[in-house]
Structure 1
């Protein structure tokens, strides 16, 4: 077990957003799916220390992350690819990558460019000159250059063309095969079930059920009940 979340509660004023969430991520990818407003992004932010939990425990490799600021959690080995990409408009692709690159690490800028050739072609372009897919590649690359134990990705396929989504699935599978932990938050059921081995369904701030990804991919009744989607769709 790499990441362990136990009975986690997050409140914003009177709003009880996360209501006793428990989840574990080990050597195999885990996906969280659910409709909008269920608390998925809040969970990502709580793990990274961006929002404070009122109750519960989060640990990485058995060591508590409680009360740690985001930069210390990142140094412990967790990287976040946030929803919305959040690239800097004034920096080029290459400058984004050099901000976080570390000499002698497994993930280098050259490896990033080999994984995402389009970024190599656009290395001199600024953040606002990139397409949505290119910005997502850049956000993922920035996280990988931190050489984390675990990457949390919040809606990585949002707004991407189908051909780019296919490439994203291949990349994420490769990361998992390379031994990197993955916690994937997705509304695209195809991405979630083709990358993860286990899927947790979040409903109104709780994990309603956890099941093998293949089971959810095949069970249209479960998809309609919890997600309101048909197989392969958002």
Structure 2
């Protein structure tokens, strides 16, 4: 049974039609990726799940219909979003940013997120905006985990970061996978998606144009060239 399903979802920015009859599903403990060029609908998919856009169709989470519920209620039901722009609280320390994320009881607490990203413990009393870009991304992910979500949505978590930081983030996400966390990653990098996800949705112009496993995707060179421009 799927933890989350999107069934014939159409999403809108005002009058602009962004997602077209969009279908997606993810099982508990699974990591899937949303792949595609800039502007095709990856972030829009995550925003549609979180109730940040006008949506027609069904978004069903843990057996309950979420369509057009307020974002705050959706978050409290157990979905955490790590936005592309991170949105670290500038007037709070690292530790305070993490504590802001606490909303649901569960296994994740300060001690465990510090084990996941040790640099956050080292800099727990530093203001969040004084961290490097990679450290801020770790903080944004850790803050989301502090809410003990059933599902995490990661929007371009590795974009613009140095390779050494990307490796640290991949290790952290891999540890979450080992813990059984359910994750949707919106990502442009085919290489990163292949390492972290077991199933992929390729999006073009707000529509799903391919869905399948890593083996199925990488055995489809015509699709890779047409929609991602890679061989």
- Report the TM-score when normalising by structure 1: 0.92
1:170: which partner in 2? 171
Matched, 1:98 2:94: no
Instruction: Give the deviation of 1:170 after TM superposition.
Output: 1.9
SS at structure 2 position matched to 1:68: coil
Instruction: Give the deviation of 1:187 after TM superposition.
Output: 0.6
1:112: which partner in 2? 113
Residues 193 and 216 in structure 1, CA contact (< 8 A), matched pair in contact too: no
Q: Whole-Å Cα distance in 1 between the matches of residues 175 and 48 of structure 2?
A: 27
Equivalent residues, number: 229
Unaligned runs of at least 5 residues, structure 2: none
Q: Whole-Å Cα distance in 1 between the matches of residues 120 and 141 of structure 2?
A: 11
Q: Whole-Å Cα distance in 2 between the matches of residues 25 and 178 of structure 1?
A: 16
Unaligned runs of at least 5 residues, structure 1: none
1:77: which partner in 2? 78
The one-character-per-residue Cα deviations of 1:122-151 (angstroms, maximum 9, x if unpaired) are: 111112211000000000001100001100
Q: Whole-Å Cα distance in 2 between the matches of residues 7 and 89 of structure 1?
A: 39
- Report the TM-score when normalising by structure 2: 0.94
SS at structure 1 position matched to 2:143: helix
Q: Whole-Å Cα distance in 1 between the matches of residues 74 and 147 of structure 2?
A: 12
Q: Whole-Å Cα distance in 1 between the matches of residues 116 and 218 of structure 2?
A: 28
Residues 93 and 126 in structure 2, CA contact (< 8 A), matched pair in contact too: yes
Question: What RMSD over aligned residues (CA atoms) do the two structures have, in Å?
Answer: 1.6
SS at structure 1 position matched to 2:54: coil
The one-character-per-residue Cα deviations of 1:170-198 (angstroms, maximum 9, x if unpaired) are: 22122122121111100111111111100
